């Protein structure tokens, strides 16, 4: 059921953007990027569960597996930070570029939302 709701929501966002004179491709791109971030976050949730399960088992082999799992988790956290930074830059550029008629302008590069 959730998938149908997501598809309907994406369609509504694109339709509303067209009616409002906004660029639907920009919103679709943002939606795609957010889904990529969510995929990494979902993987992190799975990794955390595996680490917890291994830790609770108290078996030496499982505990040693946690090293690789935690390293992957750490790398994924860095990916998420980078993805959100890119999203922020892309959104700011598109928003300021659309409002000012500039392509990728607005000086938003390198800024981060807190």
pLDDT tens digit sequence for 74-97: 999 999 999 999 988 888 887 776
Give the whole-number percent of the chain exceeding pLDDT 90: 47
Can you tell me the mean pLDDT for 3-28? Answer: 62
SS3 annotation, 1-51: CHHHHHHHHHHHHHHHHHHCCCCHHHHHHHHHHHHHHHHHHHHHHHHHHHH
Query: What are the C-alpha distances in Å from 85 to residues 23, 81, 103?
Result: 21, 6, 19
Residues 56-65 pLDDT 10s:
999 999 999 9
pLDDT of residue 91: 81
113 pLDDT band (50/70/90 cuts)?
very low
Give the start-to-end residue ranges of the domains of the chain: 5-98
pLDDT over threshold 60, residue 40: yes
């Amino acid at each position: 059921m959730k998938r149908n709701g997501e598809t309907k929501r994406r369609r509504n966002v694109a339709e509303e953007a067209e009616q409002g004179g906004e660029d639907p491709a920009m919103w679709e791109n943002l939606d795609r990027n957010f889904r990529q971030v969510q995929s990494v976050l979902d993987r992190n949730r799975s990794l955390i569960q595996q680490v917890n399960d291994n830790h609770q088992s108290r078996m030496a082999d499982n505990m040693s597996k946690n090293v690789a799992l935690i390293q992957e988790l750490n790398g994924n956290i860095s990916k998420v930070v980078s993805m959100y930074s890119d999203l922020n830059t892309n959104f700011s550029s598109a928003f300021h570029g659309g409002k000012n008629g500039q392509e990728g302008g607005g000086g938003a590069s390198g800024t981060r939302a807190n």
